[in-house]
Amino acid sequence: MLQEERQKIILEQISLHHKVLSNDLCTLLGVSLDTVRRDLMELEKEGKILKVHGGALAKTFHQPFQQAAVYAKEEKMRIAEKALSLVQNGMTILTGGGTIMVEFAKMIPPDLTGTFFTVSPLVALEAAQRSSVNVILLAGQLAPNSYICTGASVVSQLSEIHVDLCFLGTNGISAEAGLTDYDWEIVQVKKAIIKASRRVAVMSIAEKLETNHKLQVCSLNTIDFLLTDLAPGDMKLEKYNQFFKVI
């Protein structure tokens, strides 16, 4: 594979997941760790990424959140609109974080009633400003890149609540591996969110379908709904219909 092709794939992975690990890139590209490191160094010199120990980050991670460009914004807005179809007055909702969840919070109707738990300060602010729902932030240590509250205190708080429905974003979902992620602390929070919820809705852009990470959040049998930017009848979603309702 040519250097230009490798670097294009690296940038695509960073745009999709906001973060890449060098070892994962070695497997994906079929090259040595030294080759990956050289590619990352060159991309950093060109101002396209931020190289960190063990991998690289999207440059937007170190910019103020409000000013950062949202990747696949239109697709995420379509998914957020679908999520609203599952919400009814009086429900108790629990959400994870991420840009897709912020788009969802922005669309909450002003007259919606109910209780809205979240582990994301950004989601909490959007929901509180735009609606009359009772917003409760489950606070803990703030992850610097994802802006999600993590840690034992958050998991403990989640163990004490029971909600009608939760909305989760994901960094990977596949028929074989289920829901996966690469951050241990965030995985623990997501597991606790699922355990606290009667029904689980996963929100994911289509690009993340059939992508895997090293840590499993849950199997597909745990999920009740999958919301993507694709039409429910799209061929790419056919294999998922046996596990849950695709919206």
* pLDDT tens per residue across span 16-63: 877 788 998 999 999 999 999 999 999 988 888 888 778 888 865 544
pLDDT tens digits for 99-150? Answer: 999 999 999 988 899 999 999 999 999 898 878 899 999 999 988 777 899 9
Ramachandran angles phi, psi of 161, nearest 5°: -120, 160
What is the C-alpha separation between 191 and 158, in angstroms, rounded?
10
Mean per-residue pLDDT of the chain: 91
Which pairing describes strands 141-142 and 149-150: parallel, antiparallel, or unpaired?
antiparallel
Residue percentage of the chain with pLDDT more than 90: 73
The reported pTM is 0.76
Please give the pLDDT value at position 65: 45
Please give the pLDDT value at position 228: 97
Give the residue with greater pLDDT, 115 vs 65: 115
Q: Scan for tokens 């995420």, then name that residue.
A: 76
What is the C-alpha separation between 112 and 109, in angstroms, rounded?
5
Please give the pLDDT value at position 55: 84
Q: Average pLDDT, stretch 189-216?
A: 96
Please give the pLDDT value at position 138: 96
Does residue 87 surpass a pLDDT of 80? yes
